[in-house]
Chain A
């Protein structure tokens, strides 16, 4: 054998080039981001005691299932996993985008859906002046979306 089989970059066993393998790696990275985001969200609410607002809850509804659904498409690798995972990522992305716009004050007062309870506009965390919780969520959903699209492109090659 010319290659070390214990590394991730072994040549594709089916002999169709290395696409399926790197497709798997891309989907796996999407799972890593979803899992890190989920644990991060749980840390903020359960450990630090920051109560999630309504918009946060909707983003959680799209993020948390990815942690369990993605592995179902990873073992064994399902080249069509993008079909059932990307809708979650896109839904979460739209809400995260809306939330970021609410925080930025771009979305007008009237259509804000979080008038009662915990205000969505108030930000507890602001790292480096721009990294708020909804911004982290938007970045995570964007990365997951991009990784899934790349997975699809690689797998269908």
Chain B
């Protein structure tokens, strides 16, 4: 097994978080985007009619809640798409690769530095959502949301996995793309499969249930692991430095 130096990974994470804080566009995007995603579920909850039966009400609320999962999917893919090709474009990749930093440490540090703010924001938004429901929604609707704890649980458990997916796709694009803009556009593709799942749920092809969520989580875990592994495999030091493929 590869020896990874935690100090190297920490150094990458610390530097990335510092860099994010200093970049206004990232801070604004991170602040505004999740709030936009919060609006639709909150409105759905507030506009839900409490007159329907409990089961029907719960079913109608699942979709807006799952909509929140787009936050940990879309947000990291844009950040992750910048990680490698961004370093390359600003000329910092070459000096970085001449240090004892291993590529696995580099990629792990980059992934962690995207995962940390993503989860922090996602969970904050989930918390805000739950607070809004508790304080502002009709009591019957609020009970329906809180009684359906598996959905809330799924929301919290699936977030890291969805973020892992977004990070994996974003980094894969970042490793392969020649420029940041292309990587970020392609990285947005990460949101398509989760949107597809939500559409399947919306049109009733898949019935939302706890077991479906578990199966989905297990599948996503495997995909995330394979994705991050393949990103490491795609990392071609020579091509990234010279633009030419190793022969």
Decide if A and B are genuine partners: no
